[in-house]
A and B are shown apart, each in its own frame.
Chain A
């Protein structure tokens, strides 16, 4: 596609619900990253895929967070039993190569947990 696409753009969940956030990277991009951005803060790294392999998940805040990229293209970030502190914008980014280089970001999924 022309750019990184994320859905849904906005999600409101009740505390305790499970949510799934989708990222469609630019076609052919090898590397995919998930970041979490709280209000007024810079993005914080969550996890990184190279093709279908999850090479780094050190930024996932708890075992309620899970990410996958089974076919090396679309990725899903799943949050189980959501808590209020999970409220944030979740940004997906992709890059053409195995190393970082120039990152292309989606517009993000804004999650609000009530």
Chain B
């Protein structure tokens, strides 16, 4: 069964810290992997999309890496800010599925 796992489930850090969120997935035959942000009571906002042929993507203070062989992706957030507080979701599209399979998310809290 194709599954996506995110650890930790929750994370609290002081403002200014660099942090890493982890995502692991079964079955390395992925088509792409996406990281999303979800604020309470809101929909999802796409942060970064990594195609299977890519190893990383960067947007501002965010950097996402992909290691298909080990079934892992990380989302690195530099110089965290209170405004980064949200739930971060990792989602994988497998060639055989044709839709996104989501992890349960990591709830991030950045304290001022």
Q: Which residues of A contact B (CB under 8 A)?
A: 4, 33, 35, 40-45, 48, 55-56, 59, 91, 93, 100-108, 110
Contact = CB atoms under 8 A, between A and B. Distances in A.
A105 B32 contact: no
Given A42-B105, A101-B49, A102-B49, A107 B100 contact: no
Nearest to A3: B43
Which secondary structure dominates chain B's binding surface?
Answer: strand
Interface of B: 4, 31-32, 34, 36, 41-46, 49, 89, 91, 93, 98-105
B100 A108 contact: no
Contact of A43 (B42, B46, B49, B102): B102
A48 B99 contact: yes
Contacts of A102: 34, 46, 49
Given A48-B99, A56-B99, A105 B44 contact: yes
A100 B101 CA distance: 12
